Amino acid sequence: MAKALLFNITGDKKKKLQFLLMQYGITLVEGTVADCGKPLGRLLGKEGVCLSLTMEAPFTDEMLVLDELSAQQFHGLLNGMQMLQASVVYKAVTTGHNLGWTPARLHRELVAEHEALQNK
């Protein structure tokens, strides 16, 4: 089942994303500050993901994590976000490698990647 995990996305942008997610049959999962130390896989309802919790500092940037989207859903969502001016700088797709990561760790990785690309 296709899911989108949202962190710190509010207001008009959240409404636009909710519309797009519904349009493409993607289930919305809202992350909270309390979820920063839980594995992504656990937040997305995956079986067999490590259930250990860690203490992680919350982050305030917007972040969107996409899970199990088809190519049509993925491209439709990104195109729709651009058309509706609902961009999110920190976006990621789940992989077998990052499902055990916490949202806070993924956020740190995305920030570092974004900074590295900006400095090229």
Alpha-carbon span 8 to 31, nearest angstrom: 8
> Between 53 and 111, where is the model more confident?
111
Q: Which residue has the higher pLDDT, 55 or 7?
A: 7
For residue range 78-98, list pLDDT tens digits in order: 999 999 999 999 999 999 999
Backbone conformation region of residue 25, classed left if phi is above 0, alpha if psi is from -120 to 50, else beta: left
Q: What are phi and psi of 96, to 5 degrees?
A: -60, -25
CA distances from 14 to 72, 77, 85 (A): 21, 13, 11
pLDDT classification of 15: cutoffs 50, 70, 90: very high
Instruction: Answer with the residue of higher pLDDT: 34 or 67.
Output: 67
pLDDT greater than 80 at residue 72? yes
Q: Using 50, 70 and 90 to split pLDDT, how confident is the model at 99?
A: very high
Render pLDDT for 23-65 as a digit per residue (tens, 0 to 9): 999 999 999 988 988 999 999 999 776 656 677 788 999 999 9
Q: How far is CA 36 from CA 20, 28, 33, 41, 115, in A?
A: 25, 17, 6, 12, 21
Q: Sign of dihedral through CA atoms 93, 98, 99, 102?
A: negative
Per-residue tokens: 43: 């937040």
